[in-house]
């Protein structure tokens, strides 16, 4: 989570985590449930999938994961989330590989009920992958990442007790299990169990990061409640079984301690060779130097 110049390195780690989790949750066969209404959402000449608009209330606890933050975990943050997501329809091959997930954008607000922590505002993009889906029920796993703003961050003179957050701009990572049940033609009741993480990756210290196990309850408005049905076999990628090489680099900065205001340059170079073994997986071997 190296910010400004350095966000590239940590985002790469987030995306690697995203790909690993999605692959772990995937199953071999495509979704086969029937749609509530006779909509063939997978034909290439059909318009893009319907939108879903959500509004959720949320309550959380703060994990006491290290002694220097123990004085900040007594409160129970509350907040809300507003999101918009869209059902994939098979226009791209990866839609069926991951059982036709939803892609979305969320705005997340927390009030920490503690003047030292204040409030946080986050925006994230996410992918919601179905685990089980019927015409009335949707149980899914959601993975998202984005940026968060903390007005009340650590300051040596005015807010020394905030050991969680060392800078106003932070990265966020969201993991969530969601269950949506239809309560009307367009309306769904959403229940969720989530873990939200905020940190700046050490670009400013102290930075112990906040972990928030969260319960959510809210409503989804579905333009059309569709369960995508596979239209037929999806062509395999043409580069399966092919080898490739990768050279990458990253550049950023970080702070060592809260008392040392100097920023230190961080960089890396990666050399790797790989082979694509199936439609969702590559095997890689390489070396990385910092």
- Work out the number of other CB atoms within 10 angstroms of the CB of residue 220: 23
In sign, the C-alpha dihedral spanning 75, 175, 15, 221 is: negative
- Residue 108 domain-assigned (yes or no): yes
Q: What is the pLDDT of residues 130-139, one digit of tens each?
A: 999 999 999 9
Which structural domain range is residue 93 located in? Answer: 50-222
Confidence of residue 91 (pLDDT cuts 50, 70, 90): confident
In eight-state DSSP terms, residue 35 is P
- Residue 125 domain-assigned (yes or no): yes
- Residue 32 domain-assigned (yes or no): no
Q: Quick one: pLDDT at residue 226?
A: 82
pTM of the model: 0.78
- Residue 105 domain-assigned (yes or no): yes
- Residue 73 domain-assigned (yes or no): yes
Buried b (16+ CB within 10 A) or exposed e, 203-212: bbbbbbbbbb
More reliable by pLDDT, 2 or 199: 199
Q: State mean pLDDT over 146-162.
A: 94
Please check the confidence at residue 66 and state whether its pLDDT lies above 90.
yes
Task: Look up the CATH number of the domain holding residue 198.
Answer: 2.40.160.20
Q: State mean pLDDT over 65-84.
A: 96
- Work out the number of other CB atoms within 10 angstroms of the CB of residue 191: 15
Q: How far is CA 19 from the centre of its chain?
A: 11
- Residue 86 domain-assigned (yes or no): yes
Q: Quick one: pLDDT at residue 258?
A: 66
Please check the confidence at residue 27 and state whether its pLDDT lies above 60.
no
Q: What is the pLDDT of residues 167-218, one digit of tens each?
A: 999 999 999 999 999 999 999 999 999 999 999 988 888 999 999 999 999 9
- Residue 119 domain-assigned (yes or no): yes
Task: State the chain's mean pLDDT as an integer.
Answer: 84
Q: What angle do CA 201, 121, 199 make, to 5 degrees?
A: 10
Q: Residue 206, preceding bond cis, omega within 30 degrees?
A: yes
Q: Quick one: pLDDT at residue 1?
A: 40
Give the whole-angstrom CA distance, residue 248 versus residue 70: 39
Q: How many domains does the chain have?
A: 1
Q: How far is CA 279 from the centre of its chain?
A: 22
């Amino acid at each position: 989570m190296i910010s400004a110049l350095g966000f590239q390195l940590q985002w790469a780690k987030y995306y690697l985590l995203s790909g690993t989790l999605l692959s772990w949750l995937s199953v071999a066969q495509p979704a086969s449930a029937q749609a509530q209404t006779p909509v063939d959402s997978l034909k290439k000449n059909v318009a893009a999938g319907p939108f879903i608009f959500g509004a959720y209330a949320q309550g959380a606890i703060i994990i006491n994961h290290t002694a220097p933050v123990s004085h900040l975990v007594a409160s129970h943050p509350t907040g809300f989330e507003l999101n918009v997501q869209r059902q994939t329809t098979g226009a791209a091959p990866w839609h069926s590989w991951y059982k036709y997930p939803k892609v979305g954008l969320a705005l997340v607000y927390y009030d920490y009920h503690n003047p030292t922590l204040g409030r946080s505002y986050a925006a994230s993009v996410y992918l919601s992958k179905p685990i089980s889906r019927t015409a009335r029920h949707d149980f899914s796993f959601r993975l998202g990442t984005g940026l968060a703003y903390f007005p009340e961050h650590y300051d040596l003179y005015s807010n020394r007790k905030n050991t969680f957050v060392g800078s106003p701009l932070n990265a966020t990572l969201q993991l969530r299990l969601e269950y949506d049940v239809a309560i009307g033609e367009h309306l769904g009741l959403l229940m969720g169990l989530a873990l939200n993480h905020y940190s700046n990756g050490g670009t400013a210290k102290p930075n112990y990061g906040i972990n928030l196990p969260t319960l959510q309850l809210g409503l989804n408005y579905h333009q059309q409640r569709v369960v995508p049905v596979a239209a037929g076999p999806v062509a395999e990628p043409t580069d399966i079984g092919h080898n490739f090489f990768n050279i990458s680099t990253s550049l950023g900065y970080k702070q060592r301690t809260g008392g040392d205001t100097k920023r230190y340059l961080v960089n890396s170079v990666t050399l790797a060779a790989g082979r694509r073994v199936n439609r969702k997986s590559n095997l890689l071997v390489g070396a990385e130097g910092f």
